[in-house]
Amino acid sequence: MPDAPTITVYSTAVCPYCVAAKNFLKARGRGWVEVRVDTDPEQRRAMIERSGRTSVPQIFVGDVHVGGYDDLVALDRAGGLEALLAGSA
């Protein structure tokens, strides 16, 4: 999928929801760029500025803010995730 938008997951090492989100994406054959905010305060600031949230994970598909793990699953259940991942949403 060369035209598929990049999935970015802002995460920390000890976050169970981060692990769940990455497992969810992996089970669907999707890759992602992980940005660890627990080891880089500048990346944490960037995540907060970009998402307006302080919790992790924060997931983006391209420039679209999906939210956290629960938001990711809800979007999938509502039928909106595949279109977003295909770049057609």
Domain layout of the chain by residue ranges: 7-85
Phi/psi at 64 (5° precision): -90, 125
3-state secondary structure of 9: strand
DSSP state of 43: H
Q: Tokens in use for 34?
A: 């992980």
- pLDDT at 3 (0 to 100): 78
Using 50, 70 and 90 to split pLDDT, how confident is the model at 2?
A: low
pLDDT, tens digit (0-9, with 9 covering 90-100), for 20-70: 999 999 999 999 999 999 999 999 999 999 999 999 999 999 999 999 999
CB-based burial, 9-34: b 16+ in 10 Å, e otherwise: bbbeeebebbebbbebbeeeeeebee
Q: What is the CATH number of domain 7-85?
A: 3.40.30.10
- pLDDT at 1 (0 to 100): 47
